[in-house]
Amino acid sequence: MRLRDIELRIVRMPLRSPFRTSFGVETEKVALLVRVRGDLRGPGGDRVETGGWGECVAMEEPLYSAEYVAGAVQVTRDFLAPRLFAAGDAVTAERVGPLLAGVVGHRMAKAAVEMAVLDAELRARGVPLAEHLGAVRDRVPSGVSVGIQPSVPELLDVVAGYLDEGYVRIKLKIAPGWVLEPVRAVRERWGDDLLLQVDANAAFTLADAPLLQRLDELGLLLIEQPLAEDDLVQHAELARMLRTPVCLDESVVSARAAADAIRLGAARVINVKPGRVGGYLEARRVHDVAVANGVAVWCGGMLETGLGRAANAALAALPGFTLPGDVSASSRFYETDLTRPFVLEDGHVAVPTGPGLGVEPVPELLAEWTSWRQVLSPDGPVGG
Ligand code: NPQ
Ligand code: MG
C-alpha cells in the first residue's frame, strides 16, 4: 500500500482500580494509538482506500521497559514515518520490519506502526487478523493478572472476585516482601487445582534463590521474569535451582532472544507480548521458535485498549498458545473500553471475526480520551 498519512494520538483512560507491580503503581492507562490511511491496488487494478489502527504498549514512564510514550511519539515522527513514506507504494505489513530495521530498538513503536499497516491491509482484503496469523480457535481461555494488594485478606477478596467471574488462571504479582505469605494464602484457600502462577517483573537477584526455592512447594505453573531483563545466563542458573518452571517476559525482545533463552535453559515457558518483540509478525516467529523447541507460550498483556486486546486474542488462538494468557475481559481494567467491550464467557474471550482487528474505537470515547494528536504526512507533521 501507499501511506497517505499517519495519525498519532495519546489517549488516557481511567483504570477501575490502581494496578501495583514491583515497579510501580498505575492509576491511569496511557496509550499511543496509530491510525494509518492509504490506498492499495485492488483485485481489479483500481486503487482502494483503506485505514488501520495500531496500539503502542509503551508506558508513559520507562519502568517496565526502556521505551516510553513520548519517546515512541518522537521516534515514530522523526525516524519511522519518514522511512515508510519514502517507500512509496512498497509498504506492506511484511515489509514494515525490513524498512525500519535501520532504526535500532524501539520495538514497541515499530510494532504499533506495523499493526496499523497490517490492519489496513487485512480490512481492504476482508481477512480477519486471526485467520491471517494462523489461528486454530475461535475463543481463548482467559487468565487474570492480580496486582500487589495492601494485605493478604484484601488479596483473597480480589482473587475470589475474579474466580467468581470465571477467570481460569490466576497470576499474582510478587515483589520483595510480597512472596510467600500471599501465594501460600491463595494456594491454601483454593487448593491444588487452581491454575496459579507469579510474576516478579525483574524484582529479584540470584541472591534471592533460596527464597524463590520456597515457592517450589506451592505447585505454581511458572515463575515469570524473576531476574533482570538482560540476565539470561543468571536466569538459566536460577532455573537449575528451581522446580517451578521459569517463564521469561521482559527478556524476550525478539525471536532470536527467545531462541537464545531456550538454548541456554533460561526459559521453559515464554510470555509473548507483540509490542515487546516488535509486532505481531515477530510474535508469531517467537511462537514458531518455541513450538519447534517444545516450549509452551502464552499471550501477555499490557493493559491494552480493545484494539490491542482484539489483536492479542487473535494471536492467542494460534496452536502453540497452550497456557491461558493475560488476555482478560475489558472489565478487568476498564469501566468502559475504547472499543466494544471484550467480555468473559465461560472463562474465555471470543476471537474477533471481522476483517483486520475486527473492532474500532467508539468515536465519542476516542474524542473524549484523546489528550494529544498529530497527523504525519509525506511532507512532515500537519498541525499538532
Ligand atoms: C506483565 N502486565 O506481564 C505486565 C506488566 C505491566 C497484565 O501483568 C500500564 C501499561 C501498566 C502496561 C503495568 C500484566 C502496566 C503495564 C504492568 C504492564 O509484566
Ligand atoms: Mg510480566
* Closest C-alpha to ligand 1, atom 4: 302
Q: At what angle do helices 180-190 and 152-165 cross, to 10 degrees?
A: 40
| Side-chain-side CA neighbours of residue 21 (13 Å) | 18
Measure the CA–CA gap between 186 and 356, rounded to whole angstroms.
39
Q: What is the pLDDT of residue 215?
A: 98
The single residue listed with the C-alpha cell 524473576 is 226
Sign of CA dihedral 284, 290, 294, 297: negative
Which class would CATH give 2-126+363-382? Answer: alpha beta
* Closest C-alpha to ligand 1, atom 12: 302
Q: Which helix (H) or strand (E) holds 309?
A: helix 306-316
Active site residues: 173, 273
Q: What is the pLDDT of residue 45?
A: 87
Which DSSP letter does residue 267 get? -
Spatial strand order in the sheet of 269-272: 143-146, 169-173, 196-199, 223-224, 246-248, 269-272, 296-299
Q: Which helix (H) or strand (E) holds 359?
A: none
Provide CB contacts within 8 A for 188, sequence distance 6+: none
Mutate to test the pocket of ligand 1, among 10, 21, 224, 333 (most ligand atoms within 8 A of CB): 21
Q: What is the pLDDT of residue 380?
A: 81
Residue of 104, 106, 133, 107 whose CA lies nearest to 118: 133
Measure the CA–CA gap between 257 and 26, rounded to whole angstroms.
28
pTM over 0.85: yes
Ligand 1 center to 21 CA (angstroms):
8
Q: At what angle do helices 280-292 and 306-316 cross, to 10 degrees?
A: 30
- Domain spans of the chain? 2-126+363-382, 131-350
Q: What is the pLDDT of residue 383?
A: 59
Ligand 1 center to 57 CA (angstroms):
9
pLDDT along the chain (384 residues), means of 10: 98 97 96 98 91 98 97 98 97 98 98 98 98 98 98 98 98 98 98 98 98 98 98 98 98 98 98 98 98 98 98 98 98 98 98 98 98 95 68
* Closest C-alpha to ligand 1, atom 15: 302
Q: What is the pLDDT of residue 44?
A: 86
CATH superfamily for domain 131-350: Enolase-like C-terminal domain (3.20.20.120)
- CA gyration radius for the chain? 20
Neighbours of 78 (CB within 10 A): 12
